[in-house]
Amino acid sequence: MFLTNCLQAISAMSAASQRLLQLGAAPRAALLNPIVTGPLLWALAVAPNAIQGPLLQQLDRLPLDNATVVTALKVLFGLGIANTLNSLLNSMATNGWSLTSDSSRWNWSQELAVVTGGCSGIGELVVKGLADKGIRIAVLDVQPLPQRLKGYNIHFQTCDITDPTAVHNAAETIRSKVGHPTILINNAGIGSAHTIVDTTPRQLQKIFGVNLLSHWYTVGEFLPAMIKQDKGHIVTVASMASFVACPSIADYAATKAGALAFHEALTQELRHRHAAPHVHTTVVHPNWTRTPLVADHAAHIEKHQGPLLTPDVVAAGMVKQVLSCRGGQLFYPEFLSSVSGIRGFPHWLQERIRDGIGKLGTGA
């Protein structure tokens, strides 16, 4: 009976998550915003009759009684307070327990951002977003710079980021022609669906090279100057696959889990090995996003797992984080941040979740 009740609760949570996703970001944010729910709760529970009366008249049109609405608002208000406090503590923890930003040290027209994989998808939109703020950009990619980006202040360099010599040569050119970067966004990523036994050594070398090993090469080139100034921002694009590995993308999930570990160790090294706490670090965990990476399986994913994210949502969040002059850990959609704790769940619950995802698959 206990197990049955637990599984029913899991199903209910999953259904609630889907309803939240369908609501859209703005309504979800409003429901968990105590600035919204607090005044409504006050108006319905303790406000003078002159204020409460008109609201109660409006509620009479709904198939809910006043007591139910007040109870729901109390729950939402409590959750909103907890969520706000949690967000504050998260922000402090990812910034050396500091509440303030060092925005006074940043002059966007003088900053230089290196973006890997900046010619398409999320990377292209990040490049555009940063360039719109006057930030100079250096793009490293194997694809040509698209025509739509050629009106911006962009230094483009063809570079195979899986080759440390190529990265070193590109970095030398950037330093000599443009300057020392203060922002590095390791965005480039690839992936394809195949089982573990069908994965070839060549595929492994390529995906680990692009999605993970390249982070060592780029950071090795550009971090020393940031440490010297105690100023910089390194953004690591990981994935929700950092926490939950799906069938047919074991190599992809392994690289993204590795990218998360890289971010965590880098953050600690900056604090405790290099004494450079003002070099910020951010890691980004998008769920399935409508990019060329998932183009072949987009219809299947949407059918079984809900609508895909759009690249502009993820890119806008990344740009906003850089401009905040603070590090962080970003989840898209945001309510999936709870998935980050899955490895601390009881094993029976972990496997139940993985089984549910595994049965849906990626369409491979």
Query: Which residue among the candidates 128, 217, 252, 332 is catalytic per the annotation?
Result: 252
Largest CA distance in the chain: 74
Q: What angle do CA 23, 333, 361 make, to 5 degrees?
A: 100
- Domain boundaries along the sequence of the chain: 2-93, 107-360
Euclidean distance between CA atoms 91 and 317, whole angstroms: 15
Query: Which residue among the candidates 256, 303, 320, 359 is catalytic per the annotation?
Result: 256
Is it the case that residue 325 has pLDDT exceeding 50?
Answer: yes
Euclidean distance between CA atoms 133 and 261, whole angstroms: 31
Q: For 60, list phi and psi in degrees, rounded to 5.
A: -60, -20
**Cβ contacts of residue 1 below 8 Å, gap of 6+?**
none
For tokens 């998360």, the residue is: 260
pTM of the predicted protein model: 0.84
Can 150 be counted among the known catalytic residues?
no
Is it the case that residue 21 has pLDDT exceeding 80?
Answer: no
Q: How high is the mean pLDDT of the chain? A: 87
Mean pLDDT of the region 167-196: 96
Is it the case that residue 124 has pLDDT exceeding 70?
Answer: yes
Is it the case that residue 12 has pLDDT exceeding 50?
Answer: no
Higher pLDDT, 313 or 12: 313
Can 256 be counted among the known catalytic residues?
yes
pLDDT band of residue 257 (cuts 50, 70, 90) is very high
Higher pLDDT, 274 or 294: 274
Mean pLDDT of the region 230-248: 95
Superfamily (CATH H level) for 107-360: NAD(P)-binding Rossmann-like Domain (3.40.50.720)
